[in-house]
């Protein structure tokens, strides 16, 4: 399966991005890594260009929300495949925030899976499970 | 008028900068007291020089910081530059400087040197009469360095690779090479007037599991690029990597090869110094433990026979340290160095031979590139992945090399990407690690190895 990944917004936290890349490859995914400082438009462009099955956005500086609100809008603009899985993970809020507040919020923006401060492998296990169940 | 002088006139004619009087600046540098030149202190080689980091937006607070440092018997004062200046956004730096002055609040994470100007800043530098080191991270540092040298700051950190690959996603690397050529040319020009200006490279790179062979190769390259322009004093550097043995080996090989390559390229008269950075990765959030980490680092700096150590503070995990905390760290480090005597000389023939072979193989790949100049050869080598910095955010970096720690904490290469390592060297690296069976466990171990000091 093809995955497009990267860090959204003005966020240069490259270490986790690189680890996600290696981990996805280790799990057999074909990875297109856009790296740090990536805008939502660039992500969607890449999904179209690579015909990806999954878009996995990460964020560490907590500013993801402002960058990801328009996902539903862009999704309709771009005429994407219906079955693309949208995933976001990392540290999804500035300061302390409850899982119960964050997950519904990001789901309403159009993300199928939301991982706030979840261990990398736990998150990727959940992603694989989700993809398997949907198939 | 020379082409360089024409370029200097264009660069320094900037609405946010002082009007440059080059004749007056040359006169100032020619007659500046020796104490201001770190090269004068390096020459004595009588002690390991201690330098913290630090920079505040206003002149007043910067002055107070230096006064506090002087109380801790500091050897080298730092001048850390704010992030707007690093991106050449002098308008924003100006605005934030005014706000900082009016509200007595720090709106910048460093000293906006270009906006303060050299006439003002020089007063502070000559008042304290200590060597000052310019710390920044600027890809285009031409105006900044002109201002620094005119202010009496005679050590300039940075380079086209080490200020680019760890810090930027897409600033063009070829431009960076040319901008740093300008910096080296100006430093070389002023070096003829008095004691030489010292250039320093930033060896820690991403400070994330970077193998010693990559650190050394990039140190040697930036050294050669500077010497090529006529720089006469250069500091190579690296940071604590997590194994004392590997730090000592890195130092032994780096010192040996830096001298050898400088001589091979005809720079017999160039002085090469070694700078050691205390741990550049994540610090513990417990301040007492941070003090212990800093102390261990100071011991290793002495063991690697560094000429200068750049220190951290117990506030590292929390942001910019207070003046008092920063000065206390200087005093602590100086105490450790003063009381630490009788250090053994350590060598490990097998490790050193392996590391040296790796470095020579990559350097040969650089020199064998068909391009006509050194910087173009280096550019091509980075672009093709023959030089690859782990965890660099830059799009030009190949990002294929994977490293992990062995049982002794040494960083070993388990995937060499396109690094042109000899087979026996790569086999040696791999023979040192017992990799877990599953790839998931390998990644968990890498995460653990990155945060080795937490």
pLDDT tens digits, one per residue of B375-402: 999 999 999 999 999 999 999 999 999 9
Question: With an 8 Å Cβ cutoff, are B443 and A26 in contact?
Answer: yes
Per-residue model confidence (pLDDT) at position B226: 98
Question: With an 8 Å Cβ cutoff, are B393 and A14 in contact?
Answer: yes
- The answer to whether A11 touches A36, Cβ cutoff 8 Å, is yes
Active site residue A11: yes
| Separation between Cα atoms, residue B120 and residue B118, nearest integer Å | 5
CB atoms within 10 A of CB A30: 12
Tens-place pLDDT, residues B348-366: 999 999 999 999 999 999 9
Q: Chains A, B: CB contacts under 8 A, how many?
A: 45
Could you say which DSSP state residue A11 is in? -
| Separation between Cα atoms, residue B332 and residue B49, nearest integer Å | 13
Active site residue B157: yes
| Nearest chain B residue (CA) to A22 | B443
For A98, the token pair is: 């409850």
A-interface mutation test, from B206, B447, B448, most A Cβ less than 10 A away: B447
| Separation between Cα atoms, residue B48 and residue B102, nearest integer Å | 40
| Separation between Cα atoms, residue A21 and residue B36, nearest integer Å | 48
Q: Which residues of B touch A17 (CB under 8 A)?
A: 393
The domains of chain A, with CATH numbers, are 2-134 (3.40.50.280)
Q: B453 pairs with which residues across the strands?
A: none
**Distance of alpha carbon A40 from the chain centroid:** 10
pTM to 2 decimal places: 0.95
Question: With an 8 Å Cβ cutoff, are A35 and B444 in contact?
Answer: no
Interface confidence (ipTM) of the complex: 0.85
Question: With an 8 Å Cβ cutoff, are A35 and B443 in contact?
Answer: no
**Residue-range domain boundaries for chain B:** 3-339
Tens-place pLDDT, residues B119-167: 999 999 999 999 999 999 999 999 999 999 999 999 999 999 999 999 9
Nearest beta carbon to residue A35 from set B169, B390, B444: B169
Q: Residue B355 — φ and ψ, nearest 5°?
A: -65, -40
Residue B184 pLDDT class (50, 70, 90 cuts): very high
Which CATH architecture describes the domain B3-339? Alpha-Beta Barrel (3.20)
B-interface mutation test, from A25, A35, A124, most B Cβ less than 10 A away: A35
For A85, the token pair is: 């899985």
Tens-place pLDDT, residues B429-454: 999 999 998 888 999 999 999 999 99
| Nearest chain A residue (CA) to B445 | A19
Q: Which residues of A touch B392 (CB under 8 A)?
A: 14
Residue A93 pLDDT class (50, 70, 90 cuts): confident
CB-based burial, B119-151: b 16+ in 10 Å, e otherwise: eebbebbeebebbbbbbbbbbbbbbbbbbbbbb
Nearest beta carbon to residue B440 from set A15, A18, A26: A26
Q: B309 pairs with which residues across the strands?
A: B50, B276
Select which of B8, B53, B122, B157 is catalytic. Answer: B157
- The answer to whether B294 touches B257, Cβ cutoff 8 Å, is no
For B454, the token pair is: 């937490």
The pLDDT of residue B342 is above 90: yes
CA distance A107 to chain B (A): 28
| Separation between Cα atoms, residue B328 and residue B313, nearest integer Å | 8
Question: With an 8 Å Cβ cutoff, are A12 and B169 in contact?
Answer: yes
């Amino acid at each position: 399966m093809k995955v497009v990944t990267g860090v959204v917004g003005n966020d240069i936290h490259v270490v986790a991005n690189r680890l996600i890349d290696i981990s996805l490859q280790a799990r057999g995914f074909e990875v297109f890594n856009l790296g740090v400082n990536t805008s939502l438009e660039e992500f969607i462009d890449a999904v179209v260009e690579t015909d990806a099955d999954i878009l996995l956005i990460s964020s560490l500086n907590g500013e993801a929300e402002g960058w990801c609100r328009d996902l539903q809008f862009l999704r309709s603009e771009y005429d994407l495949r219906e079955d693309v899985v949208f995933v976001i993970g990392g540290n999804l809020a500035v300061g302390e925030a409850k899982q119960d507040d964050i997950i519904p919020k990001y789901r309403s923006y159009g993300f199928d899976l939301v991982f706030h401060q979840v261990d990398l492998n736990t998150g990727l296990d959940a992603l694989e499970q989700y993809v398997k169940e949907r198939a | 008028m020379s082409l360089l002088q024409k370029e200097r006139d264009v660069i320094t004619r900037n609405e946010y900068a002082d009007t440059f009087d080059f004749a007056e600046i040359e006169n100032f540098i020619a007659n500046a007291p020796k104490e201001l030149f770190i090269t004068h202190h390096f020459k004595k080689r009588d002690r390991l020089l201690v330098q913290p980091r630090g920079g505040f937006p206003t002149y007043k607070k910067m002055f107070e910081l230096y006064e506090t440092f002087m109380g801790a018997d500091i050897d080298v004062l730092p001048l850390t530059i704010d992030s707007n200046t690093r991106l050449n956004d002098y308008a924003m730096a100006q605005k934030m400087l005014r706000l900082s002055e009016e509200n007595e609040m720090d709106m910048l994470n460093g000293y906006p040197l270009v906006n303060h100007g050299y006439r003002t800043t020089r007063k502070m530098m000559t008042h304290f009469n200590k060597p000052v080191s310019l710390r920044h991270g600027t890809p285009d540092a031409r105006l900044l360095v002109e201002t620094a040298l005119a202010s009496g700051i005679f050590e300039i950190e940075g380079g086209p690779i080490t200020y680019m690959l760890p810090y930027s996603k897409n600033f063009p690397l070829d431009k960076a090479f040319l901008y740093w050529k300008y910096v080296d040319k100006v430093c070389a020009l002023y070096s003829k007037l008095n004691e030489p200006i010292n250039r320093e490279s930033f060896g820690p790179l991403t400070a994330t599991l970077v193998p010693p062979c990559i650190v050394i190769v990039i140190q040697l390259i930036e050294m050669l690029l500077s010497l090529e322009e006529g720089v006469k004093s250069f500091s190579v550097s690296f940071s604590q990597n997590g194994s004392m043995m590997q730090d000592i080996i890195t130092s032994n090989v780096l010192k040996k090869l830096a001298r050898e390559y400088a001589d091979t390229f005809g720079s017999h008269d160039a002085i090469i110094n070694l700078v050691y950075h205390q741990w550049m990765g994540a610090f513990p959030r417990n301040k007492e433990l941070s003090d212990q980490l800093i102390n261990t680092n100071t011991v290793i700096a002495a063991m690697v026979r560094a000429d200068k150590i750049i220190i951290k503070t117990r506030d590292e995990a929390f942001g910019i340290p207070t003046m008092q905390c920063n000065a206390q760290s200087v005093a602590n480090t100086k105490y450790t160095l003063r009381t630490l005597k009788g250090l053994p000389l350590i060598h490990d023939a097998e490790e050193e031979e392996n590391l040296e072979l790796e470095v020579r193989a990559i350097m040969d790949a650089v020199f064998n590139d068909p391009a006509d100049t050194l910087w173009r050869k280096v550019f091509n080598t980075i672009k093709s992945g023959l030089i690859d910095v782990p965890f660099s955010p830059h799009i030009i970096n190949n990002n294929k090399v994977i490293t992990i720690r062995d049982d002794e904490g040494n960083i070993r290469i388990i995937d060499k990407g396109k690094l042109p390592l000899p087979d026996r060297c790569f086999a040696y690296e791999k023979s040192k690690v017992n990799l877990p069976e599953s790839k998931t466990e390998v990644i968990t171990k890498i995460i653990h190895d990155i945060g080795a000091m937490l």
